[in-house]
Structure 1
Amino acid sequence: MNKIIHAFTLAILPIVSVNAATVFNYGPSTEYVTNDAGYSRNVNSSGSGTSGDPYVYEKPFSDTSELSPASSYTGPQFFGGYVLTSTDIATGYNRQQVRTTTGNPTLDRMVLQFDNIDYTGTTLSFAGVYIFKQDQFNPGYTSGAVSIDGFYSIDSQCFSGLNCDARWVVEIDDVYYVNNSVFSLNGTRELTGENLQNALWAVYDPATSLNFDQSSAVFSSLALDNVAAVGLYFEKDSFTVTGTQAPTLMIGNIQVTGTIPESSSSAILMGLFVMIAVFYRMKRR
């Protein structure tokens, strides 16, 4: 009888034991567009460029109306929004698109680029977020309780005066969170292992303000279980650009790893099966 109990215990213990895998990736080796494809939804413009009333160019946040191109695009659907402000020079966006790369047709980047004008004398600020919902995760992870154990930013760039800071985003129980580990989008960056285990998270409400206010944020630990969406937050507060440039943000490849824990009911059924098998073998003896 003790052997039966031992076998049953061994069977139900590993109820969360599955190997980590890439649960979501944007890029790097799939051709999402054959020609540049513009984002969906319109940009709202406001402001007069006078003191206290800067020019504002905002694509308001939405997680119900897609931001990704509505046609000629085969990549994962994404949501989000972004906002650019300029204290006294009228500007806007030159590119808001998934853009194919000359000479490398399988490297299709999400691109935001400001107008190519002389920004001398103005102060700019920029913030935004891309959100990928669970139904856009890789096969096998589009449903169920996904647990995240790694974030990777590869082949992302900010240049021409725009050196973005970034944070990872998750959605759990209809609430968005950003982590406290700020990283540069230039180069390869990852948040894994002990660094991820020790990361803290704060509530982020992009529908109220796309620009995350870290000064009033309250960071705390968060179990990355039952994750319903992942994303990337980017910002650059109060920066200046000298001369004629086109500040640009390009996202080429992001990856998220994790698991779907085995359900407790599956583990119990497996345990019962093992217990019956052991009992049957003992009876035969």
Structure 2
Amino acid sequence: MDTEETPTPRREIYDARNKDSLPGTLVRSEGEDASEDELVNSVYEALGTTFDFFLASYGRNSLDGEGGPLRATVHYREKFTNTFWDGERFVLGDGDGEFIQPRSHDLLDVIANGLIRQIVNPQLMYIGQPGALSESIADVFASLVKQYSLGQSADQADWLLGAGMLGPALKAKALRSLAAPGTAYDDPRLGKDPQSAHMGDYRNLPLQQDNGGVHVNSGIPNRAFHLAATTIGGNAWEKAGRIWYDAATGGKLSEKAKFADFAKLTVTIAEDLYGTGTELDAVNEAWKSVGVL
């Protein structure tokens, strides 16, 4: 009798050699020996961990669900301080050595966050509240990938995103905090974390400023997930993560979906999956606590 093979990742790491042309030169493919470049190896491992997480947790074969390749480019431009998903690959610069200084051993959640755009970006408009929801979904699953890799339960996790990106001299814990949005950093050079944690502090920004507040306002649904996951307890990727995953991938979100649309969908899914028990109450109360429901 034929047996179906277990899906495996198809990773490709490119080196832009500090130029701005993509994808760059292919320097490591699936199954090849480790590179002398530790950043290449760290990104390679992070792609594999993200693949393993989605397959083990939700039965998803790669981020496109069809076994597609996982691609990344490192060493993009000179002193490039950002990361981004360009539609085909995750792209990472070397930082400026002061504010942003990627530490190759501690980038899993940032890399996972970029990769997960392959799931959420095609669905939601990247402006205003839909864009903030898109940012939040990416943050949530990036945090879950890190927790999965460390074997941490919801109450053991730090719920910080991007702790490995910020320079050591900064007064900063991370780029964002899902547990306490607005507290990730407060440094005279970097400024204060501007994230909102409640709809009462929602900021209606012009589109030319943070695409209408996609990073600022994503703290609201981020905190809702943290509250739901810690109330449910256990491994956050199992029950709370399953609810959020089904809501994000079930095809029931319009491109203009707002927080309340997503919240109502998670409540419905929680009841469908787990009935009228702890899980449903936790999700309901989480969204109420941040002023969405």
- TM-score normalised by L of structure 1: 0.27
Structure with the larger helix share: 2
Give the number of the structure with larger relative contact order, counting CA–CA contacts within 8 Å between residues 6 or more apart. 1
* TM-score of the aligned structures, taking structure 2 as reference length: 0.26
**Higher Cα Rg, which structure:** 1
